[in-house]
Chain A
Amino acid sequence: MPTVILLDVSLSMTRPVQLSDGTETTRKQLAINGIEAFLDHLGAHSKLEFIALMAFSSLYEERCPFTRDTNLIKTKLKNIDDYDKTCIETAFHGVGQMVLGEWGNNTSCQIILVTDGSTGIGAMSLKESLATVNQRGVSGPVFPLPFPFPTKLHVVCIAGSNEPSFIKSKPLYQKLIDYSGNLGSIQVPENLQTESNVLTIFQKLAEEMYTPFKGVLKCGSLETKIMLSPTPMAHTKTTDFSTQTYNISEIIKVCGFIPVPDISSPMALSRHLILPVSSQKQETSNESGTTDDNLVSDESNTPSFCVLLHGALKVENRAALVEVGHNWFGFVYSWADSKKKSNLMLTILPPGSDVIPWLGDLNDLGVADMYTPEQVVAFPIKPSEKRSYSQNGVVWIRQAGLQSDIQKILRHARKLPDKTQQFYKELNRLRKAAISLGFLELLTGLAYIFEQECMQLPGTAHPDCALQLQHAADLLRKSQNRNITFVLMPLQTNYNAS
């Protein structure tokens, strides 16, 4: 998941630090060295992650947009000037805009706030910001947290853990984390006597933040070790009657296959690349840059089930239905970013087996040859009841609806006796609805319209036309016919008697 490094460049960051080995440095320098250590870890283990760098004081500045190039960020770190005071709220506005503009509101992001324990002074200090969260008027900007996207906020404080300023600001940081969604941490070195104290914190944070998902993709007895990128997360599903947290299992199990057109783009929580991991190598990832060429070529020449599965799914244009957790499913399929580079992708559905209405309960899917043809239903599954828009129901909320229903009947009336069936069918439909809605005035009104129509028939009209219209008008007027089970029948005349 993308990460924003938010570096405090206020004056207080330039405070000198006396290291135990006698050398002198600044908090800012320690922070920069720490961030570099963080980037090194990423460059070695999580090459696909995007990082952005933003510097802030009372204003903020995007120093480096989201990139996978950690060296680029390192160069941007080299020359950052010092500015005035810390103003965290403004910086968060900037982070919010940057992330929304880049990733939208559906991608979870991590934010690392690197600061020094002083939270600013005056109206825009963190203390003031937090105190006025609920008093923002229409004019002032609303507090940026929580962000509209899922967020993890880590606060790294370049300060000794027993410094008074840190002790004072720790609860404020905690409040920020709570506002942001309660996922995150506050990191602080025990003291600033050695640089390694700071570096370790950053390295540990990187390890924690980018724990790769290591699991097994299983199809019956075939299996292969895989990594998912980005790392999938547990999901809490809330329905009208329950809240349940679902965890991703380490074994992604293939349950069967479905043609891609049948699946037709259901809602997904997240998408992940499936990267096969060599089973011989002890290294955690296949991304580490240190592997020598021999090993790489060895790996790529050892058959992997992932590649086979990918090839076959692509050729057959099918996706594999997989179980990613208890009663939690996903699809594995071939996906191409560009035309050339094709990949094995895992789409994780919302938890539960009833998340795709047109596939039915996923637990109840079977293979055709294990059942009788009568038991098999083709996709898409139709709901037991039709929706209103395919029912030809009567809605007269707007006058146009009623008018077009009457016009339809009159159109048929002019073409009697050819349209006798349609005329009575539409008439009965309208009559039934009018009785249900207690709209009796419509029935007498319609009788009146029919009689008018009769009188104005052109001389060329079929004689049956007048007879049927008068017959229908009489029937509509009779109050004993106001029972929906009664059906208006055509008048038997010489013209239509067969």
Chain B
Amino acid sequence: MFPANHKTLFVLDHTPYFGISCENPIEFEFLKGRTGFMPPISKTLWTSSIESAVEYSRIVWDLFPTGKLIRFFASDNVAHILNTWSSSQQSISHIMNGCALIGVPPLPSSVSPPPDYTVLHGLRAAIESMCEPTEFQIEKIKTDRGKILNRCRVICITSARDNESMKRLEEIFLTVLSQQNKVVSGSDTLLRISHCHLVIINTFPINMESSVNNHPPINLSPLLTTEVHSIKAPQIPNKLASLILEHYDLASTTVTGIPMKEEQNASSSANYDVEIFHSSTAHTAILKGNPLDSAAIRTMKEGLEYETVTLKWCTPRGVTGNELHNCIAMNRITPVDVNSRPSLCLINFLLNGRSVMLEMPRKAGGKITSHLLAAHGGEIFIHSLHSARSVLEEPPSISEGCGGRVTDYRIQDFGLLIKQNTLVALTNKNSYEKPLNKIMERLNRQTKFWPLTISSTLIFNLKQYIDPLPALFVKETLTEEEVFICRNVIFNLIGLESKMEPLQAQNPGQRVKGQKRDDQYKAIWNELENFLKSSLYSDNHKVVYQCLLECHNFNNIDEDKSSEKLDFDEALNQLDNISTVKDENAQRASVIRATTDSPMSPPPLANVPAFSLQNSYKGKTLYDIFENMENEKICNRPELAGRKIEHFRLYVDLDSDGQGGYRNEGLMDAE
């Protein structure tokens, strides 16, 4: 928590001394063999330091787009402040423009007294700036009223005469730091500095030796830790590369074996390596595993002070984006040598939407796919993949669990719901409510009445008669026009019913519950009523519901009549539907009969459940039972001629004697 790398401050020496050359002329291979004198081109100390500092920032801002802030100060006879903590000024282009404005270091002055050229101006300005809170610190103080630790890091590139003057520089820094903390102690807007890490890079041209020695981090006070690195100017980038790994807990990976066409000879291809930086967590999985395996892939970077892990490019097969990999860590990457041809080749490959697997060899033989490189939205990431055994192996299939044997789920309809509720990103959300909450409300409405299976619903199987009512009715509000449409659906249905049109399922193969027309209508009205009743979200919804109630008679008396009329068929239907259960019961009953009843017992009635038959013996005289047996015999006789006639009117006396049970009627009829 509260790492120093939240606030880094570069203080660059811009005094006349830094205008001198590094004495490291650039060789131009392509000019070799040409005649004529070419004056040597060499960077100045200033150019070397600013380009190294910019490179450091490039890596940081590529890997941590927010939350890791860097400021730049140049110091000659005054401090030049190149940017602020504001995130809008945390970019390379901002820094480069600032550098162009301050220009090259001033020439040594001939006026007397000479201006006070020193790096201390910049260090002072940096110390003051450390006390300025960043947006993140302000936010933290505001939201949690939390006490925060204001840790910072200053990287100062300068040149000192000897150890003595370097020591003095550190002491002055500590004094100013302590004073600054006193100054801000009463301030509401400025923060006290909790700790500062001062990294001094003492640099000089390559043809010189410095009498300043390196020293490792030393705690000068609880407030300040300092370290000194004394290096030749062309070495600054390498030094900063090792330091950045430490400062931001980064690691280096070398992707090896990248097949690439030769620049000169496009027909042949050679293998190249590209080095990338990323957070060290990307390596945790492979380096904490088998020590032998990890030792084999770690090598010291040639000429540098850090290790790199070498992983092999694995030519991608097919599209890999279509599945969710088991990714245990994900970090942004940046190439170390951003403009080299191999780097550009790898980057463009990834930015074009393809991904690369990285392999790690195993000592025990074989190799494992340990990482995935892929770009998302123009940013490249390294995904660490889970490569060990999974605790989820051989899981039971979903078809083995609850509901696994059911085959008529409304998959297609739910697929439609999924499509309707597919999430997209939004710009300028103009409501205070979380958009996600609005979707959840909508999902609530859309699933309020949602039968899971095809066999448990009718209205959703007969969409052509009902649409677009279901889609409209789950909305939060209904417009007048939509009310009109919904009412039309109801009217239309009434029309069809009165015309006695049979309802056809949308899919010819689909079995619609209730083969009889009347049942269908009754079921569809009831289901529709349930659906509408469950979704009365607004007054207009109620208008539609009311319309349904008015148009279709759900009146009790009526319902009684119709239900009586339907009862028998309904029962038969239900018998059909639950036939499996029924059969089991029937079988069981017959087993009981076979073992408990006397040989004289009557055979079971075909249509009447065995249990109710037994019940019917209760409280009857012997005569009744005898009579029943006689009836049964009658049943076993050849079929009555009347029954064979197709349009024989049954239940003729039903209207006159409404309360009679159908079973008795049936028997009488049979007589």
Are A378 and B376 neighbours in the complex by a CB distance under 8 Å? no
Are A241 and B392 neighbours in the complex by a CB distance under 8 Å? no
Chain B residues in 8 Å Cβ range of A263:
324
- Interface flag for A199 (CB, 8 Å): no
Are A385 and B65 neighbours in the complex by a CB distance under 8 Å? yes
- Interface flag for A208 (CB, 8 Å): no
- The distance from the CB of A477 to the nearest CB of chain B, in whole angstroms, is 13
Query: Which candidate, B281-289, B481-489, B610-618, is the interface stretch facing chain A?
Result: B281-289
Chain A residue with Cβ nearest B322: A261
Are A363 and B100 neighbours in the complex by a CB distance under 8 Å? no
Are B403 and A306 neighbours in the complex by a CB distance under 8 Å? yes
Chain A residues in 8 Å Cβ range of B379:
357-358, 383, 387
Chain A residue with Cβ nearest B443: A220
The contact string, 1 if C-beta is below 8 Å from chain A, for chain B 416-435, is 01111111111111100011
Query: Which candidate, A34-42, A310-318, A415-423, A459-467, is the interface stretch facing chain B?
Result: A310-318
- Interface flag for A489 (CB, 8 Å): no
Are A333 and B402 neighbours in the complex by a CB distance under 8 Å? no
Q: How far is the CA of A86 from the CA of B440 in the complex (A)?
A: 58
Q: Name the contact of B426 in the complex, choosing from A106, A375, A382, A396 (C-beta under 8 A).
A: A375
In chain A, residues 357-414, which have Cβ atoms closer than 8 Å to a Cβ of chain B? 357-360, 362-371, 374-383, 385-391, 393-404, 406-407, 410
Chain B residues in 8 Å Cβ range of A311:
409, 411, 414
Chain B residues in 8 Å Cβ range of A50:
391
The contact string, 1 if C-beta is below 8 Å from chain B, for chain A 316-356, is 11111100000000010101010011111101000000000
Q: Name the contact of A406 in the complex, choosing from B21, B28, B443 (C-beta under 8 A).
A: B28
Chain A residues in 8 Å Cβ range of B62:
387-389
- Interface flag for B406 (CB, 8 Å): yes
The contact string, 1 if C-beta is below 8 Å from chain B, for chain A 409-447, is 010000000000000000000001101111111101100
Q: How far is the CA of A363 from the CA of B438 in the complex (A)?
A: 10
Are A219 and B443 neighbours in the complex by a CB distance under 8 Å? yes
Q: How far is the CA of A357 from the CA of B424 in the complex (A)?
A: 14
Chain A residues in 8 Å Cβ range of B224:
none
- The distance from the CB of A55 to the nearest CB of chain B, in whole angstroms, is 22
Chain A residues in 8 Å Cβ range of B298:
none
- Interface flag for B668 (CB, 8 Å): no
Q: Name the contact of A401 in the complex, choosing from B27, B324, B334, B339 (C-beta under 8 A).
A: B339
The contact string, 1 if C-beta is below 8 Å from chain B, for chain A 450-473, is 001001100000000000000000
What interface size band does chain A fall in?
Answer: 35 or more
Query: Which candidate, A56-64, A124-132, A251-259, is the interface stretch facing chain B?
Result: A251-259
Q: Name the contact of B445 in the complex, choosing from A220, A345, A358, A381 (C-beta under 8 A).
A: A220
Chain A residues in 8 Å Cβ range of B103:
435, 438, 482
Are B100 and A436 neighbours in the complex by a CB distance under 8 Å? yes
Chain B residues in 8 Å Cβ range of A265:
323-325, 327, 330, 372, 374, 383
Chain A residue with Cβ nearest B383: A265
Chain A residues in 8 Å Cβ range of B42:
441
Q: Name the contact of A315 in the complex, choosing from B395, B415, B450 (C-beta under 8 A).
A: B415
- Interface flag for A123 (CB, 8 Å): no
- The distance from the CB of A130 to the nearest CB of chain B, in whole angstroms, is 23
Q: How far is the CA of A180 from the CA of B137 in the complex (A)?
A: 34
Are B58 and A383 neighbours in the complex by a CB distance under 8 Å? no
Query: Which candidate, B32-40, B458-466, B492-500, B622-630, is the interface stretch facing chain A?
Result: B32-40
Q: Identify the interface centre among A219, A341, A440: most chain B CB within 10 Å of its CB.
A: A219
- Interface flag for B228 (CB, 8 Å): no
Q: Name the contact of A286 in the complex, choosing from B46, B376, B402 (C-beta under 8 A).
A: B402
Chain A residues in 8 Å Cβ range of B31:
449, 452
* Contact A382-B52, Cβ < 8 Å, known A319-B324, A449-B38: no
In chain B, residues 446-461, which have Cβ atoms closer than 8 Å to a Cβ of chain A? 446-448, 450, 452-453, 456
Are B377 and A381 neighbours in the complex by a CB distance under 8 Å? yes
* Contact A364-B425, Cβ < 8 Å, known A308-B409, A316-B415, A388-B62: yes
Q: Name the contact of A316 in the complex, choosing from B332, B419, B450 (C-beta under 8 A).
A: B419
In chain B, residues 185-200, which have Cβ atoms closer than 8 Å to a Cβ of chain A? none
- Interface flag for A278 (CB, 8 Å): yes
- Interface flag for B503 (CB, 8 Å): no
- Interface flag for A32 (CB, 8 Å): no
Q: Name the contact of A448 in the complex, choosing from B39, B434, B435 (C-beta under 8 A).
A: B39
Interface of A is mostly: mixed
Q: Identify the interface centre among B136, B339, B347, B410: most chain A CB within 10 Å of its CB.
A: B339
Q: How far is the CA of A374 from the CA of B112 in the complex (A)?
A: 65
Chain B residues in 8 Å Cβ range of A240:
1-3, 6, 67, 136
Q: How far is the CA of A364 from the CA of B272 in the complex (A)?
A: 42
Are A365 and B423 neighbours in the complex by a CB distance under 8 Å? yes
Query: Which candidate, A8-16, A112-120, A161-169, A296-304, is the interface stretch facing chain B?
Result: A296-304
Query: Which candidate, A76-84, A97-105, A170-178, A189-197, is the interface stretch facing chain B?
Result: A97-105
* Contact A366-B436, Cβ < 8 Å, known A105-B289, A382-B378, A403-B30: yes
Chain B residue with Cβ nearest A261: B321
In chain B, residues 359-404, which have Cβ atoms closer than 8 Å to a Cβ of chain A? 372, 374, 376-380, 383, 386-389, 391-404
Chain A residues in 8 Å Cβ range of B50:
437-438
- Interface flag for B237 (CB, 8 Å): yes
- Interface flag for A29 (CB, 8 Å): no
Q: How far is the CA of A399 from the CA of B344 in the complex (A)?
A: 17
Chain B residues in 8 Å Cβ range of A438:
44, 46-47, 50, 99, 103-105
- Interface flag for A260 (CB, 8 Å): yes
- Interface flag for A275 (CB, 8 Å): yes
Are B426 and A366 neighbours in the complex by a CB distance under 8 Å? yes
Q: How far is the CA of A196 from the CA of B184 in the complex (A)?
A: 68
Query: Which candidate, B89-97, B160-168, B558-566, is the interface stretch facing chain A?
Result: B89-97
Are B374 and A397 neighbours in the complex by a CB distance under 8 Å? no
Chain A residues in 8 Å Cβ range of B27:
399
- Interface flag for B290 (CB, 8 Å): yes
- Interface flag for A2 (CB, 8 Å): yes
Chain A residue with Cβ nearest B393: A337
Q: Identify the interface centre among A342, A366, A442, A482: most chain B CB within 10 Å of its CB.
A: A366
Chain B residue with Cβ nearest A347: B324
Chain B residues in 8 Å Cβ range of A149:
288
- Interface flag for A307 (CB, 8 Å): yes
* Contact A302-B96, Cβ < 8 Å, known A366-B436, A390-B351, A406-B28: no
Are A255 and B418 neighbours in the complex by a CB distance under 8 Å? no
Q: How far is the CA of A166 from the CA of B414 in the complex (A)?
A: 61
- Interface flag for A107 (CB, 8 Å): yes
Q: How far is the CA of A222 from the CA of B450 in the complex (A)?
A: 8
Are A257 and B41 neighbours in the complex by a CB distance under 8 Å? no
Are B418 and A273 neighbours in the complex by a CB distance under 8 Å? no
- Interface flag for A242 (CB, 8 Å): yes
Chain B residues in 8 Å Cβ range of A307:
398-399, 401-404, 406, 409
- Closest 6 CB pairs between A and B? A304-B403, A104-B388, A220-B443, A220-B447, A380-B377, A366-B435
**Could you give 14 example pairs across A and B, Cβ below 8 Å?**
A243-B1, A257-B418, A277-B402, A303-B409, A303-B453, A312-B418, A315-B411, A359-B425, A367-B442, A379-B377, A389-B335, A438-B99, A439-B43, A444-B39
Supplied contacts A304-B402, A441-B44, 13 more A-B pairs, CB within 8 Å: A220-B448, A222-B447, A256-B443, A302-B403, A343-B395, A366-B439, A367-B424, A370-B439, A390-B351, A393-B339, A397-B51, A435-B103, A438-B99
**B interface residues with partner A (beta carbon < 8 Å):** 1-3, 6, 21, 26-31, 34, 36, 38-39, 41-44, 46-47, 50-52, 54-55, 58, 61-62, 65, 67, 91-92, 96-97, 99-100, 103-105, 136-137, 140, 144, 146, 148, 237, 284-285, 288-290, 321-330, 332, 334-335, 337-341, 343-344, 347, 351, 372, 374, 376-380, 383, 386-389, 391-406, 409-412, 414-415, 417-430, 434-436, 438-440, 442-448, 450, 452-453, 456
**A interface residues with partner B (beta carbon < 8 Å):** 1-2, 48, 50, 66, 100-107, 148-149, 219-222, 229-230, 238-243, 253-261, 263-268, 271, 273, 275-278, 286, 297, 299-313, 315-321, 331, 333, 335, 337, 340-345, 347, 357-360, 362-371, 374-383, 385-391, 393-404, 406-407, 410, 432-433, 435-442, 444-445, 448-449, 452, 455-456, 482-484
